[in-house]
Amino acid sequence: MFEEYINSKKDEILENLNQMIKIPSKLEGYNNPEYPFGKNIDDALNKFLEIGKKLGFKTKNIDKYCGYIEFGEGQEMLGIIGHLDVVPEGEGWKHPPFELTIEDEKAYGRGTIDDKGPMIASLYAMKAIKDNAQVNKRVRMIIGLNEENDWKGIEYYKGHEEMPTLGFSPDADFPCIYSEKALLSAYTEEKYIPNEKILIKEIDCKNNRINVVPKFCSVKIEVSNEIEKELYNMLLNKKEIVFNQKENEFYIETHGIQAHAAHPELGENAISKMILILNEIYNKFGVENSTIKELASKIGKETNGYSLGISHKNKELGDLTLNLAQFNLKDDKLTSGMNLRIPKDCNLEVIKQKIIDNLPNLNVTFDGEKPALYIPKDNKLVKRLCQIYNDYTGENKEPLAIGGATFARAFNNCVSFGAMRPEEPDMCHQVDEYIKIQNLIDACNMYANAIYELTR
């Protein structure tokens, strides 16, 4: 219904997406009282609200924690809930991460698929409806700012603003998401006690986020003279590492493939590689460290939690997944962090206890717990959104369950709807993140159709 109008806005859509991609809206911490999530995220919010205002919408900056863009009248409200923050870019990009690059009909840049591209598409879908149709509800785009971390912004919104009657989040997959796994992060800590044979001096994982499969880990160790030569010969035969030696100091690197923690099996975990190498070194020279020993034996390269006793298979909702994402040495504390995605039929308290029981010499704490989202497939909202997708594409897809977590679970009667197409690789959190330009325009059309249908 709105294709001609939306196609006429294609260049404008891409230019405004470029303006958003240019802002490196990564979390900068919570210590600046002027900017709750950092200056760059604040800039992203202001720029997006500016675009919304120029398009003729009502806008509101909610104390710099979040914002909204709105049009329409009525008691009921359709919410479109997404985010403008991004994960760090990482290394190894062919294209500049914070500049929109068009190549082979793809738009590259950090945030193009997660979630700035879908947010721009949703905004222009709102514009298509505003200029070409009537609505019987208010339509409000709710703008989150730290979705990739702890959701403080969306919680602030819920404490200060009106809740939508129903809604969707343009932050996952088409045709529609009916279930999202529960989230849980587990952290271990141990006092690091130096050993006369092996001393860990430094660990660097590039401040990897808990929801990203780490692609880099380096460790600097100092060893006693008696094992220096033997360690050199041992490392010389390890093809999975890069190392160099300066006298009795060894610098070791492991490299992996970055991926979203919802799909750790699609990546290659550099921290897991490092833990296994260190464990082998420690075993060879008769040195013990509980963190290295227990993480090597109870996690290693596993992504399903099997050796921790928490693996769980669910044909409908997907299996439990685990991502060993952090490994640090600071203030004489050796720490690690892992992120779990857990189907709704698992008991989270049982999962926690099994992790504690299987890491007996480590202090284990938990954070980032979010309950699973589950809306039956025959729910009216799920069926309508799936039908919109299938009618537009000519396909016959069924709703999906995912390991990702979206703002859909923050509100009642809300599910995720695109913008990733079923046939496309998941580029969220990946190097050279992109969205196909035609898919972006298609998403805009489907969002316009969804707004039209859901406001009747």
Q: What is the pLDDT of residues 61-92, one digit of tens each?
A: 999 999 999 999 999 999 999 999 999 998 89
Q: Which of 42, 85, 173, 432 is catalytic?
A: 85
Q: 316 and 206 in one domain?
A: yes
User: Of 314, 348, 370, which one is at a domain's C-terminal end?
Assistant: 370
Task: Give how many domains the chain has, as a whole number.
Answer: 2
**Percent of the chain topping pLDDT 90:** 94
Cite the DSSP H helix spans in 263-407: 270-284, 290-298, 348-358, 380-393
pLDDT value of position 317: 81
First to last CA, the chain: 15
User: Of 334, 354, 370, which one is at a domain's C-terminal end?
Assistant: 370
Taking the C-alpha atoms of residue 73 and residue 136, their distance in angstroms, rounded to an integer, is 7
User: Of 350, 370, 390, which one is at a domain's C-terminal end?
Assistant: 370
Q: 37 and 142 in one domain?
A: yes
**Percent of the chain topping pLDDT 70:** 100
Q: 365 and 219 in one domain?
A: yes
CATH number of the domain that 330 lies in?
3.30.70.360
Whether residue 1 is predicted with pLDDT greater than 80 in this model: the reply is: no
What is the average pLDDT across 399-418?
A: 94
Cβ atoms within 10 Å of 456's Cβ, excluding its own: 8
Q: 418 and 366 in one domain?
A: no
Q: 364 and 255 in one domain?
A: yes
pLDDT value of position 31: 87
Name the 3-class secondary structure at 35.
coil
Q: 230 and 173 in one domain?
A: no
What is the average pLDDT across 267-278?
A: 98
Q: 41 and 129 in one domain?
A: yes
**Tens of pLDDT, residues 182-214:** 999 999 999 999 999 999 999 999 999 999 999
Compare 29 and 57 and report the one with higher pLDDT.
57
* Mean pLDDT computed over every residue of the chain: 96
**240 an active-site residue?**
no
DSSP one-letter code for 268: B
Q: 108 and 88 in one domain?
A: yes
Instruction: For residue 245, name the pLDDT band (cuts at 50, 70, 90).
Output: very high
**Tens of pLDDT, residues 298-336:** 999 999 999 999 999 888 888 999 999 999 999 999 999
Q: 62 and 153 in one domain?
A: yes
Q: 146 and 115 in one domain?
A: yes
Taking the C-alpha atoms of residue 79 and residue 72, their distance in angstroms, rounded to an integer, is 12
Q: Which residues contact 56 (CB under 8 A, 6 or more apart)?
A: 71, 127, 130
**147 an active-site residue?**
yes
CATH number of the domain that 7 lies in?
3.40.630.10
Q: 350 and 431 in one domain?
A: no
Of residues 321, 312, 315, the one with CA closest to residue 404: 321
What is the average pLDDT across 376-392?
A: 97
pLDDT value of position 316: 83
Structural element, H or E, at residue 234: helix 225-236
- The residue segments making up the domain with residue 118 are 3-181+373-454
Q: Which of 42, 89, 147, 426 is catalytic?
A: 147
pLDDT value of position 318: 87
What is the average pLDDT across 85-108?
A: 96
Q: 279 and 164 in one domain?
A: no
pLDDT value of position 356: 98
Extract the tokens encoding 403: 């390991």
Alpha carbon dihedral 110, 113, 118, 124, in 10-degree steps, equals 70
Look up the pTM and report it: 0.86
What is the average pLDDT across 146-174?
A: 96
Category of 309 on φ-ψ map: left (φ > 0), alpha (ψ -120 to 50) or beta: left
Whether residue 376 is predicted with pLDDT greater than 80 in this model: the reply is: yes
What is the average pLDDT across 215-240?
A: 96
pLDDT value of position 70: 98
pLDDT value of position 53: 98
Rg of the chain over all Cα atoms, to the nearest angstrom: 24
